Amino acid sequence: MSQDHVIRVRFYPPPEDLRRYFTTFYVSEFDPGSADVLRDSLHPEWAGMRFFSPTGPVAWNDGGDRLANCAFITQGPSSHPIHFELPKTRTWGLGLLPLGWAKYVRLPAGQMANRLCDGFTHPGCEPFRPLAQTLFGDVPDEAAELERMIAFFRAFPAKDPIDAKRITAIHEALVDPQLTTVQELVSRVAASQRTIERISHKHFGFSPKLLLRRQRFMRSLAQFMIDPSLKWIGAMDCHYHDQAQFVRDFREFMGISPREYSSQSHPVLKRFTQERNQALASAVQTLDRPGGVGKTAA
């Protein structure tokens, strides 16, 4: 990877009335410098949308979805990496918390889990195309673009989902690092396991068991990304029985071993996790609480 690349990113917590639905809004600028593109892979996360100007990346996942030069990309919640090659471009992105997915997206999250789609062609993304078409002006204006995004979602014709209280309760339980089993989750939420399974697949994208394993894994990966000097043994979550179990999870969620991952360059994710942690005290969106992170945006 060329060392003359430029990556800039700024994170904006959503305003108070939107904080239950979104992780953050963020703007970023990428310039590969003497290299053709910036290469990296997203780790597992909640659903998100990204808008690019003038053009988007080549992006693909291990499930076979592949996009090229798409200016509006939507992804469902993920448990596997999304790989990308970024040209020189400017980007606005947002993360959808499970309650945000339930409120704004008219598709079951399980149907879009580990999927990557062109927002200009996928029928489920049609309501968001007006934002994609009007977000960028002729001249970059960060404040105006952020206000357009906020105004769009404030005016969006959507009601809170029927399951809102249980979605929030499940999410609150998932981000508790002391909660490790489905039985504990059922007890905490005070609903039947069948109900929690249904809500999890519909609004979170995965089963409760997988979600808990993903949380444990992401606590470990986030710690390593914040402070690589810890090595994997120091970053590994305390609820792993041993290193072999962690390696199995790493291969399942990232497709490679921890050693292979740490030997690779991660220019985009390293910058994003460190800047996000510094700005919001939360390195990755899967660890965000259902009430949002950071201070309220203006």
- Residues 189, 150, single domain; the answer is no
> Last residue of a domain, which of 155, 181, 210?
155
The arithmetic mean of pLDDT across residues 75-98, rounded, is 98
| β-strands 47-53, 38-42 pairing | unpaired
pLDDT, tens only, 231-285:
999 999 999 999 999 999 999 999 999 999 999 999 999 999 999 999 999 999 9
Predicted pLDDT at 2: 57
CB 13 within 8 A of CB 97: no
CA distance 276 to 282: 6
Cis status, amide bond into 123, omega within 30 of 0: no
Quote the Cα angle for 12-111-284, to 5°: 30
Shared domain check, 173 and 109: no
- Same domain? For 119 and 194 the reply is no
Q: Is pLDDT above 90 for 46?
A: yes
Whole-model pTM: value is: 0.94
Residue 43 in domain = yes
pLDDT in tens, 155-203: 999 988 999 999 999 999 999 999 999 999 999 999 999 999 999 999 9
Do 52 and 183 lie in a common domain? Answer: no
Residues 73 and 97 in one domain: yes
Q: Is residue 125 part of a domain?
A: yes
Structural domain including 73 reads: 6-155
**Do 44 and 129 fall within a single domain?**
yes
Vertex 93 angle, CA 23 and 142, to 5°:
110
Structure tokens at 84: 């990308």
Q: Does the residue 120 lie in any domain?
A: yes
pLDDT over threshold 60, residue 97? yes
Quickly tell me which residue has 């904006």 as its tokens.
12
Domain count, the chain: 2
Asked if the structure places residue 1 within a domain, the reply is no
What is the arithmetic mean of pLDDT over 212-239?
96
Q: What is the mean pLDDT of the chain?
A: 95
Residues 39, 82 contacting (CB under 8 angstroms): no
- Whether residue 190 is found in the same domain as residue 134: no
